[in-house]
């Protein structure tokens, strides 16, 4: 039976989960996959973590050079996160001809071109299922499940932290800060939650997934990004009254005008499959020209779900000869002939404070009409003291049109726009 030695760099949540799965299921993989996958070594500076996982002394490596020079190590798993050390260690492993499996979304998003170039030179494998959407097998689906299709769109809830926060705000009626604090207590959010709540994490993942889906490099710099820190319970409640649920949505489209990639809070009709994805769960909704709509759903983070994705890549690498690389020119930047859409089209939710006097609403609708913006739904709530709150949802229009209309309304003296949120058409 073929024997495959694995080294794990970092035994945090993801690396520790992969270690547990590999050690507990070794006999199972021998039986079902006809390959003996064993942990040869680990690199971890936290001795308490090593002890808690019961790592034998003989598996503990002193440094990366000990690992990459070991002929019994075939696959190196990078789970340390960050960029500087992770990038250096992965390149060292690839230069030694080792296949690399990583969960590092930022590393793959920003440096996959460099890593893949090194891997190709040594005919080494580079796998990154765990970098996107935890235990949901979206990367493998794009590579090996729907490759017969031209994918026209990918829409997803791909960050568990923000989905938990928005679910709490929606179901419990709490404010953003209280929901964030709850997410931090449960370990869903870091003490510095910026990467999650401001959309960086989702944008890294969307860059990776859109590149795979549309077979062209989609750099992180091309992703429009807006976080959830300014979302209010009032907007969530208003949206619910209109039949919508609020999600931080990642949207990628291959349109006739170019590629459109964006991450932002989005109102989703309650009848849409993505609307029911709550808590820390994630989901990705694909549209292909042959298969139609496909949705993958599951846990987007956590020790065992993400560890499962790591081990899935290990098994795939161990049971397949040769290595597969990108189906596109994987450079640092996009190809010159690839167009990106910045003035994207969407429906929009707007909440306005309006002077409660005759003709005010007519003036607002007239200003919108001048930008060819029409209204689908409208609610008006009196606030007393000669003011009212107006909530409206537009037909599909363009980002620049909405921004221009908001500027005109705010300068009119009859209303001020308090929030603008995109709506999934």
- What are 408-417's pLDDT values in tens digits? 999 998 899 9
pLDDT digits over 277-309, tens only?
Answer: 999 999 999 999 999 999 999 998 889 999 999
**Rounded mean pLDDT of 185-206?**
95
Alpha-carbon span 401 to 279, nearest angstrom = 34
Q: Which fold has domain 138-300?
A: Dihydrodipicolinate Reductase; domain 2 (3.30.360)
Task: Check: CB of residue 180 under 8 Å from CB of residue 189.
Answer: yes
Opening angle at CA 410, ends 404 and 415, nearest 5: 130
Position 386 scores a pLDDT of: 75
pLDDT digits over 360-397, tens only?
Answer: 889 999 999 999 999 999 998 877 767 889 999 999 99
Residue among 205, 222, 247, 253 flagged as catalytic:
205
Region of 307 on the Ramachandran plot (φ > 0 left; ψ -120 to 50 alpha; else beta): alpha
Task: Check: CB of residue 151 under 8 Å from CB of residue 214.
Answer: yes
> Of 402, 336, 403, which is closest to residue 374 (Cα–Cα)?
402
Positive or negative torsion for Cα 134, 149, 254, 219: positive
Alpha-carbon span 25 to 19, nearest angstrom = 10
Whether domain 2-131 has CATH 3.90.1150.10: the reply is: no
Map tokens 């990078």 to a residue. 78
> Of 241, 266, 263, 236, which is closest to residue 252 (Cα–Cα)?
263
Position 387 scores a pLDDT of: 84
pLDDT digits over 76-97, tens only?
Answer: 999 999 999 999 999 999 999 9
Reported confidence tier of residue 398, pLDDT bands at 50, 70, 90: very high
Q: How far is CA 183 from CA 12, 168, 247, in A?
A: 19, 9, 16
Q: Indicate whether 127 pLDDT > 80.
A: yes
Whether domain 345-423 has CATH 3.40.50.720: the reply is: no
CB within 8 Å of 356: residues ≥ 6 apart: 382, 383, 386, 387, 388
Q: Indicate whether 187 pLDDT > 90.
A: no
- Whether residue 329 lies in the annotated active site: no
Alpha-carbon span 313 to 329, nearest angstrom = 23
Q: Indicate whether 212 pLDDT > 80.
A: yes
CB within 8 Å of 337: residues ≥ 6 apart: none
Q: Indicate whether 256 pLDDT > 90.
A: no
CB within 8 Å of 403: residues ≥ 6 apart: none
User: Which of residues 414 and 212 earns the better pLDDT score?
Assistant: 212
Alpha-carbon span 358 to 371, nearest angstrom = 23
Alpha-carbon span 109 to 369, nearest angstrom = 41
Alpha-carbon span 325 to 203, nearest angstrom = 22
Q: Indicate whether 71 pLDDT > 90.
A: yes
Report the run of H or E that residue 141 belongs to, with start and end: helix 138-144
Alpha-carbon span 28 to 20, nearest angstrom = 13
Reported confidence tier of residue 425, pLDDT bands at 50, 70, 90: confident
Position 381 scores a pLDDT of: 83
Task: Check: CB of residue 213 under 8 Å from CB of residue 252.
Answer: yes
The strand pairing partners of 5, in sequence order, are 38
Position 350 scores a pLDDT of: 98
**Rounded mean pLDDT of 250-269?**
97
Position 258 scores a pLDDT of: 97
63: DSSP letter: S
Half-sphere exposure of 351 (CA within 13 A, CB side): 15
What residue segments make up the domains of the chain, in order of their start? 2-131, 138-300, 345-423
The strand pairing partners of 252, in sequence order, are 154, 261
Q: Indicate whether 237 pLDDT > 90.
A: yes
Position 357 scores a pLDDT of: 77
pTM to 2 decimal places: 0.96
Opening angle at CA 197, ends 195 and 201, nearest 5: 40
Radius of gyration of the chain (CA): 24
Q: How many residues does the chain have?
A: 425
Q: Indicate whether 151 pLDDT > 90.
A: yes
Task: Check: CB of residue 382 under 8 Å from CB of residue 354.
Answer: no
Map tokens 């496909």 to a residue. 294
pLDDT digits over 311-365, tens only?
Answer: 999 999 999 998 989 999 999 999 999 999 999 999 999 999 998 777 888 999 9
């Amino acid at each position: 039976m073929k024997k495959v030695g694995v080294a794990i760099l970092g035994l945090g949540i993801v690396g520790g989960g992969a270690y547990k799965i590999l050690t507990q299921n070794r006999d199972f993989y021998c039986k079902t996959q006809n390959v003996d996958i064993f942990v040869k070594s680990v690199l971890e500076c936290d001795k308490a973590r090593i002890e808690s996982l019961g790592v034998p002394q003989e598996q503990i490596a002193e440094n990366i050079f000990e690992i990459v020079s070991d002929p019994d190590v075939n696959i190196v798993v990078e789970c340390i996160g960050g960029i500087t050390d992770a990038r250096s260690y992965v390149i060292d492993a690839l230069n030694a001809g080792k296949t690399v499996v990583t969960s590092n979304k930022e590393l793959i998003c920003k440096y996959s071109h460099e890593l893949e170039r090194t891997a190709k030179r040594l005919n080494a494998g580079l796998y990154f299922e765990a970098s996107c959407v935890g235990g949901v097998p979206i990367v493998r689906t794009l590579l090996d499940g729907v490759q017969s299709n031209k994918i026209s769109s990918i829409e997803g809830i791909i960050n568990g932290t923000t989905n938990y926060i928005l679910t709490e705000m929606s179901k419990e009626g709490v404010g953003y800060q209280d929901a964030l604090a709850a997410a931090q207590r449960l370990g869903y959010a870091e003490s510095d939650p910026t990467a999650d709540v401001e959309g960086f994490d989702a944008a890294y993942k969307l860059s990776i997934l859109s590149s795979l889906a549309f077979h062209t490099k989609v750099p992180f710099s091309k992703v429009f990004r807006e976080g959830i820190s300014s979302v209010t319970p009032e907007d969530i409640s208003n949206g619910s009254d209109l039949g919508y649920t609020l999600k931080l949505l990642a949207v990628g489209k291959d349109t006739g005008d170019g590629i459109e990639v964006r991450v932002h809070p989005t109102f989703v009709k309650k009848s849409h499959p993505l609307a029911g994805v709550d808590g820390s769960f994630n989901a990705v909704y694909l549209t292909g020209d042959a298969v139609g709509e496909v949705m993958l759903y599951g846990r987007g983070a956590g020790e065992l779900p993400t560890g499962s994705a790591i081990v899935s890549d290990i098994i795939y690498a161990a049971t397949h000869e040769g290595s597969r690389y990108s189906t596109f020119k994987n450079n640092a930047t996009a190809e010159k002939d690839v167009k990106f859409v910045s003035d994207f089209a969407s429906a929009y939710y707007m909440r306005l404070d309006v002077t409660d006097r005759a003709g005010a609403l007519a003036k607002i609708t007239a200003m919108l009409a001048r930008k060819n913006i029409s209204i689908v739904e409208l609610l008006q709530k009196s606030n007393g003291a000669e003011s009212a709150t107006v909530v409206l949802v537009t037909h599909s229009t363009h980002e620049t049109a909405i921004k221009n209309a908001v500027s005109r309304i705010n300068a009119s003296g009859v209303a001020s726009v308090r929030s603008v949120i995109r709506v999934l058409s």
